Amino acid sequence: MIRVETIVIGGGPAGSAVACGLAGHGHDVMLIERTATSQHKVCGEFLSVETQLLLRRLGVDPLALGAVPVDEVALYSSRRSVTSALPFRGLSLSRYRLDAALLRHAHFSGARLHRDVTVKTARPDGSGWLVVCDNGHTVSCRNLVLATGKLGLRGIDDTRDGSQVGLKMHLRPAPDIRRALEGRVELYFLEASYIGLELVEDGIANLCMVLPGETMSQLGSGWPALRNHVAAALPALAERLADAEPLWDKPKAVVCPSGGHLHRERNAAAYRVGDRLAHIPPFTGDGVAIALGSAALAVAHIREGLSPDVYLAAARKLTAGPIRLASIVSCLAGHRISRNLMFAAATRGPGLIGSIVRRTRLTRALDGLDPAVLPTPPLVSP
């Protein structure tokens, strides 16, 4: 039997940030990650200003990792488009590179990092938890942090809608298209679907989308059918994808909720962070901010000995407003008539897009947290 103060299950941004924050303050924390090496994850790969500041508090500099700037957003439907400056300078960086840096930093901060290990079950045990792993080890802990992203965990209930499929494909666009994409993120809206396109490091374009599950069951998992489907409905996107070289055989995929989701649990026994806590419609570009903000909040509550129930109430307060507004916008954008009205309003009122962008930010992740919550060691090199 292995004993540890805190177990964090999942090595994405949320889990790594919790491990960094606790280990950096001298807590005994074990981080369990099921993959042996870095993996590409389904994600828009946009870093808002809040995300950037939270990363720097952890000691990770996204610019040093190759992140590229994003200053404007362009919205497209099948017939309309509107462009607006972002109210802040965003960055774009692949999850492959970001996750690897955060895991290195968790290890550097003193966390016990166990890779290529899958948690089979987790069950309450007195005032703590017993975690059974596929390597034959059973670990006892006082605090359990769930950071498994959109993946569930046996022994812990979690009910959410899974009617949508999130997909991601990395492409190498033609040189003229790459130049046209510099400094901007493009969002394309269809019936019950939306698609994001932006450059990440090394001139690679990230195409990320959310489609209904029934649409994906008809298209299958191959790239050609998916490309033809979105290109046929969106002429502007078809132009972007022309002559683009796919870097993978097929897109990465994950089941996700339609609209937003905020976990609600009574008598919570575990600290949920990132997607285990909340899911915001990806077009907002604030998913990584929720991951890091909820992680910082969990670190503060664990350090102060506050229960998961107290943490969950604070986490809901942190995330509920942005998720509610983003879900409303997602619903409106998914229907042709309301989508056309939104585009018309955005064309007549240039400040509308910036206002929505600001109101779907996790600004309280910065305003409501003590800067001492997270350590500030030297910045991690690429």
| Domain limits for position 347 | 2-161+258-373
pLDDT at 374: 44
Residues 6+ positions from 228 with CB-CB distance below 8 Å: none
Decide if 8 contacts 27 (C-beta within 8 A).
no
For the chain, how many structural domains are there in total? 1
How many CB atoms sit inside 10 A of residue 244's CB? 19
- Domain presence at residue 115: yes
pLDDT at 154: 61
- Domain presence at residue 97: yes
Strand-pair partners of 8:
31, 145
pLDDT at 220: 81
Question: Among positive and negative, which fits the CA dihedral 114, 14, 9, 130?
Answer: positive
Please report, for the domain that includes residue 63, its CATH number.
3.50.50.60
Per the confidence metrics, is the pTM higher than 0.75? yes
State the Cα–Cα distance between residues 290 and 357, nearest whole angstrom.
Answer: 15
How many CB atoms sit inside 10 A of residue 58's CB? 28
pLDDT at 380: 43
Residues 6+ positions from 113 with CB-CB distance below 8 Å: 11, 19, 31, 33, 103, 106, 107
- Domain presence at residue 102: yes
- Domain presence at residue 198: no
- Domain presence at residue 381: no
- Domain presence at residue 173: no
Strand-pair partners of 85:
72
- Domain presence at residue 96: yes
- Domain presence at residue 58: yes
Can you give the pLDDT of all 382 residues of the chain as single tens digits?
A: 899 999 999 999 999 999 999 999 999 999 999 999 989 999 999 999 999 999 998 989 999 999 999 999 999 998 889 999 999 999 999 999 999 999 999 999 999 999 999 999 999 988 899 999 999 999 999 999 999 987 766 656 666 667 889 999 999 999 999 999 999 999 999 888 899 999 999 999 999 999 998 888 888 878 999 999 999 999 999 999 999 999 999 999 998 887 788 887 777 789 999 999 998 988 898 999 999 999 999 999 999 999 999 999 999 988 999 999 999 998 888 888 998 888 899 888 878 998 889 888 887 555 655 554 444 443 444 4
